[in-house]
Amino acid sequence: MKNQINALLLTAALSGLMGGTSVAAQSTQNHNGSTVKAAKAGLRYTAQDKDTSKHSCKGKNDCKGQGGCKTGDNGCKAKNSCKGKGGCATDGSKPSAI
């Protein structure tokens, strides 16, 4: 009995996989893949728009000299702008209190 149920589940899984993969392939061909996916994707995280540039430079080094990326404190590095001021933060949060 248990084997029979497992066989039914496996058949269902494989038929779902085949159907879903076909839909994905067709929507890619019809250039509406994003629309189809978004409908089933769940709740979109909308607040990410402002963070895209920050996240896209995480782990890369293309933000050197921009001073706003976490990968390194390139904003004040080697500029001496923080000498004598007791700290340098590119987001401006802490130094204001100094």
Partner 1 sequence: MNLETLQRAMAAAVMMPLTADDAMAQTAPDGRAMEAVAGSFIAPNSRLTAFERLEIYNRQYWFRMLGALAEDFPALQAVVGARAFEALSVAYLTEHPSRSFTLRNLGSKLADWLAAHPERGGRRHGLAVDVARIEWAFVEAFDQEALTPLTLDEVAALSGDSRIGLQPHVQLMALEHPADDLVLGLHDRQKREASEAGVRGEAVPMEPMRLPRLRRRATWLAAHRVEMSVYYRRMEPEEYRTLSALRRGLTLGAALEAGFEGSKLAEGRRPKKVREWFATWAELGWLCRASSEEQPQRTGREDE
Q: Binding string to partner 1 for residues 36 to 75, with x set by CB under 8 A, is what?
A: xxx-xxxxxxxxxxx-x-xxx-xx----------xx-x--
Place of tokens 């890619």: 28
Q: How far is the CB of 9 from partner 1 (least distance, A)?
A: 5
Handedness of CA 64, 66, 71, 73 (dihedral sign): positive
Structure tokens at 48: 């990410």
How far apart are the C-alpha atoms of 49 and 44, rounded to whole Å?
11
Integer-rounded Cα Rg, in Å, for the chain is 25
Does 8 sit near partner 1 (CB under 8 A)?
yes
Does 79 sit near partner 1 (CB under 8 A)?
no
Q: Given the rule CB under 8 A, which residues bind partner 1?
A: 5-6, 8-25, 27, 34, 36-38, 40-50, 52, 54-56, 58-59, 70-71, 73, 76, 82-89, 91-98
